[in-house]
Amino acid sequence: MRIVLVGPPGAGKGTQATRLAEKLSIPHISTGDLFRANISRQTELGKLAKSYMDAGNLVPDEVTIAMAKDRMEQPDAENGFLLDGFPRNVSQAEALDELLTTEDIQLDAVLDLEAPEDEVVKRIAGRRICRKDSSHVFHVTYSQPKTEGVCDVCGGELYQRDDDAEDTVRKRLEVYHTQTEPIIDYYKAQGLVVTISALGAVDEVTGRALEALKREDDGK
């Protein structure tokens, strides 16, 4: 299957993308991962991407499109993929359509994860990351450390990233509503959108998504 995953920041797209890609045996193509790799290597692209991401803005289309095109051309994506973070606006969606048309392939579904705005803000603004290992993530409400401000795994200091601050989260949501949300209508016109609730346990959301995608696939 060839799937685009959409939804507001904090809807759990990254978690669900990883799980769904594994269940469906297709690669998870995350532009966020590509940006982070460049940032960690301090490439020129990484420095540029970081300046936009830190401000809660989107990385310019030409950068994102080039990254996505290169990744989708890799051998492991020949029989399908799950796109997470691309396209992020109608221009990118149109560019993706052009890329796929050139390769004589098409999307099977656009999975839209819905979550109330207040819940999204609560999820993101409450995150705390370990300074020693950023893969260690806690939450002031949902996943509290045993000792406040201290990582349970390695004892590192827990902190709130700048782009997780509530003001920045609300700015990111404004950007999402203005720039990204319109692609849902764009894809609805093509009959591709499958909408599910992103609320509930992770396993519940994954099961909900798989069932919705199966119905979509069976209906074609």
**173 in Cβ contact with 117 (< 8 Å):** yes
Token code pair at residue 56: 């809660």
88 is catalytic: yes
Q: Out of 19, 71, 88, 128, pick the active-site residue.
A: 88
Chain-centroid distance of CA 212 in Å reads 19
Residue 49's alpha-carbon distances to 21, 78, 128, 194, in angstroms, are 25, 28, 22, 30
Q: Out of 19, 123, 127, 128, pick the active-site residue.
A: 127
Phi, psi of 143 (to 5 degrees): -150, 70
50 is catalytic: no
Measured distance CA(151)–CA(4) in Å, rounded: 34
Q: Out of 13, 71, 123, 128, pick the active-site residue.
A: 13
Q: Out of 23, 47, 132, 161, pick the active-site residue.
A: 161
161 is catalytic: yes
Q: Out of 19, 123, 128, 172, pick the active-site residue.
A: 172
Q: Any idea which residue has 């074609």 for tokens?
A: 220
Token code pair at residue 74: 């890799």
Residue ranges of alpha helices (H) inside 55-176 are 61-72, 90-102, 117-125, 166-175
DSSP of 26-56:
--EEEHHHHHHHHHHHT-HHHHHHHHHHHTT
Measured distance CA(100)–CA(78) in Å, rounded: 12
Helix axes 61-72, 44-54, angle to 10 degrees: 120
Catalytic residues: 13, 88, 127, 161, 172
